[in-house]
Amino acid sequence: MQDLHYSHSNANISERQMLPPDVVVRLVVLQWKPTPQSDEILAYCALHHIQAMSMTQAKHEWQLPWGSLHAMHTLDYCAFERLRTITDQPILYWSQVATVGEYSYSKGGKSTLSIEYIIWVSSQENTSVLPHNTIPDSLDQSSCVWLPLEQLPALSAHDKQLMQYAQQHLAQRSLDIRVLAALIGQEFTLQQLYTVAQLLRHEHMDLANFRRAALASGQLEPTGETRKVGRHRPAAVYRLKPEQSSYGSDQLSMQELLASLQRQYEAHSQELADMDSSSNMKRAGNSALASLIPQRHQ
C-alpha cells in the first residue's frame, strides 16, 4: 500500500478523501429553570454564535459547541474541558450519545468525525437568555449563549442531526426514574416527575398511567411531607429509596470532575507504561537467551 505523505494543508480534494477525518467532540448542553409558583419548566440549549460577513451584511450562524481532541486526554476529559468554557455549573446528567461523520465540499473536501455528548447542568440564576430571533448588536462574535430549546434557530444539517439524536436519547430516558430525579432534585412530587418526563419525551403522556408506573417501580418512597406547586392542591413529596442510585446523587463540580478524569487517565497511563516495561524486559530476556544459543552454520 502506498504511503500518504501529504497533509490537509497541501493536499487536493481527491487526496484529502484518503486522509483520516478530524475528530472533535460536540456538546448538546442543556439546563432549565422551573417557573416560580408554576409547573412550567423552561429548557435552554447552549449554542455557539458565529458572525460571518457576507458581501452585503453580517450573517449570523449558530452551531453546537465543539472542541478538539488532545492526544494526552480522554474523550470525556476533552468534552468537559470544553464545557468549562461555557458554564461552571454542576453536572446533573451526561452521556455519550452518538458518533456522526460529516463530509463537506465547502470546506475543501475536509471530513470530520463528531463524538456527541449530551450534558444537563444545574440551573443558574443569572443565565442570559436570548429571545427567539433576537440578536443584539453587542453579542460577541464567538460567544456561547443560551436559547429556548423549543425555539432554536436554523442549524447546519450536521448539527440538526446531532440534535435529533440528543432528543431521541432523552426520550428513551424519559421513564427512567433515576434520570428524572437527577434533573429535578432530591425531593419532588409526582407531578414534577411527570412534567420533566413529558418534556423529555416531547409528546403528551397520560398522567394517571405515569403516576401508577412511577409508584409501581419500587424506586420511590414518601417523605411524609406535602408541597403546593402552582394552582394544584398540596401533593405528597417523594424521594428515591436509599438503595437506588441517582445519576445526580454524586454531583461533582467541574473542577472535581476534570481532576477525577485526569486521575483515571494517569492511572491508565501508568498501567500501559508498566505493560510496556514488562514487554521490554521480556524482549531483552529473549535476546539474551538467543545470544547463548549456538548459531547454525550454513
Q: What is the full DSSP assignment across 53-106? A: E-SSSEEEEEE--EEE--TTS-HHHHHHHHHTTT--PPEEEEEEEEEEEEEETT
Report the distance separating Cα 18 and Cα 5, nearest Å: 11
In the three-class reduction of DSSP (H, G, I as helix; E, B as strand; rest coil), residue 274 is classed as: helix
Burial pattern 203-222, b for ≥16 Cβ within 10 A else e, equals: eeeeeeebeeebeeeebbee
Question: Residue for cell digits 460577513?
Answer: 53
Region 62-73: mean pLDDT is 85
| 118 and 101 belong to one structural domain | yes
Whether residue 294 lies inside any domain: the answer is: no
Instruction: Mark whether 161 and 202 lie in a shared domain.
Output: no
Note whether residue 281 is domain-resident: no
Domain end position, chosen among 172, 188, 214: 172
Worst-scoring range by mean pLDDT, 9-23, 109-123, 218-232? 9-23
Instruction: Note whether 45 and 183 are same-domain residues.
Output: no
Number of independent structural domains in the chain: 2
**Are residues 173 and 72 in contact, defined by beta-carbon separation less than 8 angstroms?**
no
Q: Report the CATH number at residue 57.
A: 3.90.79.10
Instruction: Please indicate, yes or no, whether residues 255 and 191 belong to a single structural domain of this protein.
Output: yes
Answer whether residue 265 is part of any domain: no
Question: CA torsion, points 211, 213, 217, 223, in degrees to nearest 10?
Answer: 0
Query: Domain containing 237: what range?
Result: 174-260
Query: What does the pLDDT read at residue 248?
Result: 47
54, 161: one domain: yes
Residue 123 resides in a domain = yes
Same domain, 111 and 235: no
Looking at the domain assignment, is residue 219 inside a domain? yes
Lowest-pLDDT choice from 29-33, 91-95, 116-120, 136-140? 136-140
Tell me which residue of 134, 137, 169, 163 sits closest to 150, measured CA to CA.
163
Q: Same domain, yes or no, for 225 and 254?
A: yes
Rounded mean pLDDT, 35-48: 73
pLDDT beyond 50 at 197 = yes
**Does residue 242 belong to any structural domain of this protein?**
yes
Distances (CA, A) of 154 to 111, 119, 158: 22, 21, 11
Same domain (yes/no): 65, 143: yes
Question: In this structure, are residues 36 and 127 in contact, taking their beta carbons and an 8 Å threshold?
Answer: no
Q: List the CATH number of the domain containing 235.
A: 1.10.10.10
The answer to whether residues 78 and 195 belong to one domain is no
- Residue, of 13 and 156, whose pLDDT is higher: 156
pLDDT at 129 over 70: no
Single-letter residue type at 250: D
Residue 107: inside a domain, yes or no?
Answer: yes
What is the SS3 assignment for 149?
helix
Q: Are 25 and 144 in the same domain?
A: yes
Instruction: Check whether residue 32 and residue 109 sit in a common domain.
Output: yes
Instruction: Read off the DSSP letter of residue 229.
Output: -
Residue that wins the pLDDT comparison between 288 and 168: 168
Q: Given a cut of 90, is residue 203 above it in pLDDT?
A: no
Determine, yes or no, domain membership for 245. Answer: yes
**By C-alpha distance, which of 39, 14, 7 is closest to 188?**
39
pLDDT digits (tens, 9 = 90+) for 241-276: 887 665 544 555 666 766 777 677 677 667 767 776
Choose the final residue of a domain: 152, 172, 192.
172
- Considering the domain architecture, whether residues 191 and 133 belong to the same structural domain is answered as no
Residue 216 predicted with pLDDT over 90: yes
96 band by pLDDT with thresholds 50, 70 and 90: very high
What's 17's DSSP letter?
T
Which of 102, 137, 172 lies at the terminal end of a domain, its last residue?
172
